[in-house]
Structure 1
Amino acid sequence: MHKTYTPIFVLLLLLLGSCSYETKTVSSPPVRKLKMEEATIAAIHQSFREGTCTCQQLVAAYFERIEKYDKPTGLNAIVVTNPDAMERARELDREFAETKKLRPLHCIPLIVKDNYNTAGLQTTAGSLALKGFKPTEDAYQVRELKKAGAIVLAKSNMAEWAFSPRETISSIAGETLNPYNLEHVPAGSSGGTAAAVAANFGTVGLGTDTGNSIRGPSSHNALVGFRTTMGLTSRAGIIPLYLRNDVGGPMARTVEDATRVLEVIAGYDPADPLTRHSQGKMPLNYQQYLDRNGLKGARIGVLRTLSEDTPDPQVKALFEQAIADLKALGAVIVDSVDIAGFDSLRQNQWCDVFQHDINGYLAAQGPAVPVKNLDEIVASGKYAPSAAENLKYFQQHQFTPKDSSHTCGDAYHDPRRIAFRSAVEAAMDKHEVGALIYPTWNNPPAKVGDTSGYKGDNSQVIAPHTGQPAFTVPMGYTYEHLPAGLQFLGRIYDEPVLIRYTYAYEQGTQHRKPPLNFTRGTSQKR
């Protein structure tokens, strides 16, 4: 359960005032005060420079939204809020007053998935077995974001141990719903981050993606989600599912904000050996690729192999419109691109390395961690029914990265993975395309409790195994305002190309809209 604020906090809000939700003017020239809903990093920083909002006011306003909308509506996206956030806001306000300089993410409120180690703040991967565990050090990405000025505002709910791509249910916090329609799921396992950022509980968020879990929840919640090239960002300090697949990264309301986060977290970290592959493959900055005309002359391939896999009619219509929009924005569409040997290459790519990886993580946490290995997790009985089957399965079935009976290497060493990536990139080279596109999901978000409604998840198929980057952006809305996403798959380390394409598409279509039940002045419980 997230922290309940006392009347002292309410008094603090009144004393601080808040960043305005409306446009107001003062003596010439007029100054536009910050509109909290859908606020971007650039808008927040502009309001700081103009003196129309302070870091303390911003943090207080986001806390107010969490208090007003999270539990009262039944959304249930937040596990715990950060009691030190306001003190950090005061420090950043003092720093800006003295230096007149803003850090890259100065006072940007960050929602962190509950599998990122966050120093002094409970980190559980959604499990009661880790209740009360407070790491002494931050995960690499959290540490770098803090250095850049971001404030960890809250930890978000997740599918327990990141097991489910369908839904976000945990024993530590219960079930998270979709803010666009509370009768539907936000996908898993980063559904808490997705719902929180979509409902404007923070400016940006962190998720993790083993097969789907940045892109699926982003698609279901009208967000931008970056699954970057494996090895571009460090996983050190993130509770693993399968390290051979895991990628951590940004979930945001705009491509620009996701890019700003990526710029901070990308790069070599000795604590994650896979990141050595990124050395020499990164540009000086990623924001230079935010080009509104980035689709002019771009060659983009349509991957009908995925888009035509039993699509919902409304999602299919949105995808066809997206293709037309890409053409109108200057792209050359290659419809379609076939990947040689695709059906066989995609098979047998998964390895059940959870026990190996979770035991390694827990062993590194020292004596304070409540459970020391998977056997102790299972013996504790502290898990949701939805996690029980997987926990017991992984207890009995274990592969290791060096298992002689099954190749379980990463994207740079596993021959099956290299072959799959080579085939995908060979098809892209043949048709001279910069990216392949397909719906992130061929079907809209399932109803809560409807396991048969979980279908059409395209994110699991390619990028988690090949190591290629795949970004999702809002593509429009289906039944009852439920979002759908468009996914762009690029060559390994081709993030600059994907940023150009997704930014130009986003700016040319402007599909992102906030969920109606989470706009100021409304509150509707499921």
Structure 2
Amino acid sequence: MRKMTSWKLKGSAALLSASLLAGSFILTGTPAEASSSTSTNAGQVSSIQKSSLTSPITVQEFSKLLNAVAKGNGLEFKGLDGTGTIKRKDAAAAIYEWIELPESTSEYTDLSEAESEIAGALLKAGIMNGYSSTVFAPNQPVTISDAHVLIDRIEAYLTPFDITEATIAEMQTAMEQGKVTSVTLVQLYLARIHRYDDQLHAILTVNDKAVEAARKLDEERRATGPRGPLHGIPIIVKDNYDTADMPTTAGCVCLKDSIPDNDSEQVARLKAAGAIIIAKANLDEFAFNITTSSSLGGQTLNPYNLGHYPGGSSGGTGAAIAANFAAAGLGTDTGGSIRIPSSLNSLVGIRPTIGLSSRDGIIPLALTQDVGGPMARTVADAAAVLEATAGYDAKDLVTTQSVGRVPDSYLSYLDKEGLQGARIGVVTQLLSGTKAEQNEVNDITLQAVKDMEKLGATAVHIEIPNYEAIMKFPSLSGWEFKFQLNDYLESLGEDAPYHSLEEIIASGEYLESHKSSMEARQARETLDDNEYRKIVLDRTKLTQESLLKVMAEHNLDALVYPASAEPAGKLGEGQNSGVNNRLSPFSGFPAITVPAGFTDGGLPVGVEFLGKAFDEGTLIKLAYSYEQGTLHRKSPALTP
């Protein structure tokens, strides 16, 4: 049992436990504690001069720093006895006893067993490193610079964990430090869904086994450590992804009781990475439109203004992640259904290259254009989800194109300096418009371009060759939906509630406003049609060649333009996204949407980067640099 010392905390143990429920600080594992960062509390000790940061700090000076932290956090610190400089092992012991860190072990070879326990606890808490993985240097004096870093890390450790806007990395740090568990995260998110979804109508099904799954993942973490960045992390998926433990409905009453035998490939990969599917989100029924209304879930509302649409068709995922119902989500994108709701909900959305991620087990709209991808509050979180879900799948042969083209880690592209030296093409044809809403979006986009230039990029205003011809091509959902939906229903086997689109139409169990669209799709008799083949071949070829030509001529890393021509539309007035969403699905090239600010009315606006095939890493790098240089994302006031 630990020997208690004179460093006591004010209040009960329960109060202390509550005060320590999280905070987040990613420990980089630097050899020593020296750093240029300076604690705000350090300024309260006038005897410490910044001009001598490499000088050893005395016991009394270090004691004053700890006392300042204690007072700032409502804690009590008796102080340290002794004179002269303080050694690393003594500083570690003082911190360990003062905030009663949970016991741990270390592999330092220059410590006694008791000292190793202390050093291991500080290492796990993210407060104090060794000089290497095996050397702690217990008798090395603590410098003033070291002390500043230690104080900053103690402050971070003592900061209460707040689930709102927490990143995946912050959740992992908090779980590693023992401040929260996966069970806690699930319960906090379920509480938010219960509290706020009556306003938003974003969720169709809550996973009643989520807490049980989290408990098993917590046990696994304690026994063998985390599987990776998504271990124990709650995720929401659009309800057109198959889940073997929850209904998969596409938002339609006709499929309300349909539970597939197997998870979709992307869901299976998330689970294999340790993620928890906490809920399934509403969508525009069968992913037809961009307003997110369904016969099963009703009309999803925008959390930034309940009188406006959330975009679509992945608007349920968009509203849910914006309102902090989970760490991140999955959407699908045939024409713009990841990027439009991401833009309208101040989120990051990635539409991957066609062929990067499997569509197996996703209810199709048009497989020539369909992709599934992440929606998240930060670029880093979206990259973590993409990393877990990308790659070859024998059940979706288009993913053969990804072989050898998936990097070891998309997280390695998270470079704050990523815009330095980059060349960005600003698509002038997508900045046209006369409406006030369009002009406001254009102004925000042009400001974003200026910000990219300040961050080191060169912006070139360009026009896409053959632009008008490209934009005259239609989406293929009107052609392919009937045949591919019928194939999906057949894959459900005997459990399928209906076996064809024709049967669904006859049942009347669908959104009445979709009737004409469904009947028009049902009228298609074959895909063995010259017009269809011409669209498939000519549209893709013309779009790809035109984009590659302009990027080559100007030596561009990416193109940029507004993700949606207008912000979230008012309920009853429709949603206009313009043609901005077409370049990515028509070419098959990847695109990423990132928050760029808000209109005067408080509605989010996003900008979209488009790159070459399988160049998601570059897009992540550019978007991350812009995100970190501007920090436009903010949570909705309606869901605090």
After TM superposition, the score normalised by the length of structure 2 is 0.75
1:257 corresponds to which residue? Answer: 381
1:77 corresponds to which residue? Answer: 202
2:147 corresponds to which residue? Answer: none
- Residues 404/133 of structure 1: CA separation in 2 closer, same or farther (3 Å cut): same
Aligned to 1:406, the other structure's residue is in SS state helix
Contact 1:267 1:279 in 2 (8 A): yes
Q: Distance in 2 between matches of 1:260 and 1:457?
A: 30
1:57 corresponds to which residue? Answer: 184
2:592 corresponds to which residue? Answer: 471
2:406 corresponds to which residue? Answer: 282
2:629 corresponds to which residue? Answer: 508
Partner deviation per Cα, 1:123-176 (whole Å, 9 max, x = no partner): 1000011111111100000000000000000000000010012x1110111110
Q: Distance in 2 between matches of 1:350 and 1:116?
A: 21
Q: Distance in 1 between matches of 2:321 and 2:20?
A: 18
Q: State the superposition RMSD in angstroms.
A: 1.9
Name the aligned partner's letter for residue 443 of structure 1.
E
2:300 corresponds to which residue? Answer: 176
1:333 corresponds to which residue? Answer: 459
Aligned to 2:605, the other structure's residue is in SS state strand
Judge which range, 91-100 or 311-320, deviates more: 311-320
How far does residue 98 in structure 1 lie from its aligned partner after superposition? 1.1
Which of 355, 359, 370 is the matching residue for 2:497? 370
Q: Map 1:218-257 onto structure 2 (within 5 A).
A: 218-257=342-381
Contact 1:349 1:465 in 2 (8 A): no
Name the aligned partner's letter for residue 192 of structure 2.
R
Which of 565, 568, 571 is the matching residue for 1:445? 568
Contact 1:216 1:457 in 2 (8 A): no
2:446 corresponds to which residue? Answer: 320
Contact 1:216 1:459 in 2 (8 A): no
Q: Distance in 1 between matches of 2:626 and 2:531?
A: 45
Which of 389, 393, 399 is the matching residue for 2:516? 389
Aligned to 1:179, the other structure's residue is in SS state coil
How far does residue 459 in structure 1 lie from its aligned partner after superposition? 3.9
Q: Distance in 1 between matches of 2:213 and 2:334?
A: 32
2:601 corresponds to which residue? Answer: 480
Q: Distance in 2 between matches of 1:267 and 1:340?
A: 32
Aligned to 2:561, the other structure's residue is in SS state strand
- Residues 158/398 of structure 1: CA separation in 2 closer, same or farther (3 Å cut): farther
- Residues 149/409 of structure 1: CA separation in 2 closer, same or farther (3 Å cut): farther
Partner deviation per Cα, 1:416-453 (whole Å, 9 max, x = no partner): 312211111111100111111111112111001112xx
Which structure: larger Rg?
2
Name the aligned partner's letter for residue 320 of structure 1.
L
Q: Map 1:267-278 onto structure 2 (within 5 A).
A: 267-278=391-402
Contact 2:190 2:325 in 1 (8 A): yes
Contact 2:340 2:577 in 1 (8 A): no
Contact 1:19 1:35 in 2 (8 A): no
How far does residue 102 in structure 1 lie from its aligned partner after superposition? 4.3
Contact 1:349 1:416 in 2 (8 A): no
Q: Distance in 1 between matches of 2:19 and 2:231?
A: 18
Contact 1:126 1:170 in 2 (8 A): yes
1:421 corresponds to which residue? Answer: 544
How far does residue 398 in structure 1 lie from its aligned partner after superposition? 4.8
How far does residue 494 in structure 1 lie from its aligned partner after superposition? 1.1
Q: Distance in 1 between matches of 2:303 and 2:235?
A: 18
Contact 2:383 2:411 in 1 (8 A): yes
Name the aligned partner's letter for residue 494 of structure 1.
D
How far does residue 513 in structure 1 lie from its aligned partner after superposition? 0.1
How far does residue 18 in structure 1 lie from its aligned partner after superposition? 11
- Residues 19/490 of structure 1: CA separation in 2 closer, same or farther (3 Å cut): farther
- Residues 21/501 of structure 1: CA separation in 2 closer, same or farther (3 Å cut): same
Gaps in structure 1 of 5+ consecutive residues: 1-15, 520-526
How far does residue 365 in structure 1 lie from its aligned partner after superposition? 1.0
Name the aligned partner's letter for residue 198 of structure 1.
A
Aligned to 1:353, the other structure's residue is in SS state helix
Partner deviation per Cα, 1:180-221 (whole Å, 9 max, x = no partner): 000000011100000000000000000000001000000000
How far does residue 458 in structure 1 lie from its aligned partner after superposition? 3.8
1:104 corresponds to which residue? Answer: 229
Judge which range, 214-223 or 302-311, deviates more: 302-311
Partner deviation per Cα, 1:57-110 (whole Å, 9 max, x = no partner): 110110000001111xx2110001001101101101111111133433111111
Matched, 1:407 2:530: no
1:457 corresponds to which residue? Answer: 578
Q: Distance in 2 between matches of 1:88 and 1:459?
A: 40
Judge which range, 272-281 or 194-203, deviates more: 272-281
Q: Distance in 2 between matches of 1:102 and 1:313?
A: 47
Partner deviation per Cα, 1:296-318 (whole Å, 9 max, x = no partner): 01000100111124462221221
Name the aligned partner's letter for residue 316 of structure 1.
N
Gaps in structure 2 of 5+ consecutive residues: 1-16, 25-72, 76-97, 100-153
1:95 corresponds to which residue? Answer: 220
1:164 corresponds to which residue? Answer: 289
Name the aligned partner's letter for residue 370 of structure 1.
P
Higher relative contact order (CA 8 A, sep 6+): 1
Name the aligned partner's letter for residue 455 of structure 2.
L
Q: Distance in 2 between matches of 1:256 and 1:403?
A: 43
Contact 1:439 1:458 in 2 (8 A): no
After TM superposition, the score normalised by the length of structure 1 is 0.91
How far does residue 409 in structure 1 lie from its aligned partner after superposition? 7.5
1:205 corresponds to which residue? Answer: 329
Contact 1:440 1:458 in 2 (8 A): no
Name the aligned partner's letter for residue 444 of structure 2.
L
Matched, 1:379 2:506: yes
Partner deviation per Cα, 1:487-506 (whole Å, 9 max, x = no partner): 11111111111011000000
Count of matched residue positions in the alignment of Structure 1 and Structure 2: 494
1:215 corresponds to which residue? Answer: 339
Name the aligned partner's letter for residue 634 of structure 2.
K
